[in-house]
Copies of this chain bind each other. A is one copy, B any other.
Amino acid sequence: MFTINTRIFLPLLYIVWSDDLLTADEFKILSTFIQNQDWLSAEEKEFLDSKLDLALPPTRSGLNNWRKEIAEIVAVNPKMLSLFDLQLKVTSSDSLELYREDFEVLEQKLGILGSEALLKFTQNDKNQTYNYETDSTFAVGKMTSILDGDVADAINEVKKVISTPEFAYETSTDVNVYREKVLEWCFILAEKNLGNRAYPKKYGGGENLPEYFAIMETLSYHDLSLVIKFGVQFGLWGMSIQSLGTEKHYRKYLDKIGKLEIPGCFAMTETGHGSNVKGLQTTATYNHAEKTFTINTPTPKDQKEYIGNAANHGQMATVFAKLLIDGTDYGVNAFIVPIRDENMKPLSNVEINDCGLKMGLNGVDNGTISFHNVVIPKENMLDRFATINEKGDFISPIPSDNRRFFTMLGTLVGGRIGIPRSALAAAKVGLAITIRYSDQRRQFGPEGGSEIPILNYRMHQRRLFPPLAQSYALHFALRYLTQRFIDKTPEKMQEIEALAAGLKAYTTWHATATLQECREACGGKGYLSENRIDRLKNDTEVYTTFEGDNTVLMQLVAKNRLAVFRRQVSEMDSMDKVSYVWNQTKVFFSEKNPFTTRDTSDSHLLDTEFHLKAFYYREHEITTSAAKRIKKLIDSGLDAYDAFNVAQHQMIDVAKAYLDRVVLEQFLIKIETLEDSSSKTMLVKLAQLFALHKMEENKAWYLENHYFETSKSKAIRKMVNQLCWDIRPDAVALVDAFAIPESCLAAPIAKKI
Contact = CB atoms under 8 A, between A and B. Distances in A.
Contacts of A269: 524
Given A60-B330, A457-B648, A648-B459, A21 B563 contact: yes
Interface string A477-514: 00000000000001100100000000000000000100
A80 B336 CA distance: 45
A714 B700 CA distance: 10
Interface in A631-689: 631, 634, 638-643, 645-646, 648-649, 652
B25 A567 contact: yes
B524 A402 contact: no
A273 interface: yes
Interface string A276-319: 10010000000000000000000000000110000000000000
Contact of A570 (B108, B456, B528, B639): B108
A396 B60 contact: yes
List the number of copies, as a whole number: 2
Interface size class on chain A is 35 or more
Nearest to A462: B649
Interface stretch (A155-163, A259-267, A545-553): A545-553
A203 to B, nearest CB: 30
Interface string A241-271: 0000000000000000000000000000100
B21 A559 contact: yes
A358 interface: yes
A49 to B, nearest CB: 17
Given A19-B403, A402-B20, A459-B649, A545 B566 contact: no
Nearest to A111: B566
Contacts of A582: none
Nearest to A445: B641
A17 B400 contact: yes
B541 A519 contact: yes
B640 A402 contact: no
A127 B642 contact: yes
B645 A129 contact: yes
A596 interface: no
Contact of A109 (B520, B524, B570): B570
Of residues A114, A175, A401, A639, which shows the largest number of chain B Cβ atoms within 10 Å of its Cβ?
Answer: A639
16 contacts: A60-B396, A105-B570, A109-B567, A110-B570, A111-B567, A116-B643, A130-B641, A276-B443, A279-B451, A358-B527, A359-B533, A446-B641, A457-B648, A458-B648, A649-B721, A700-B713
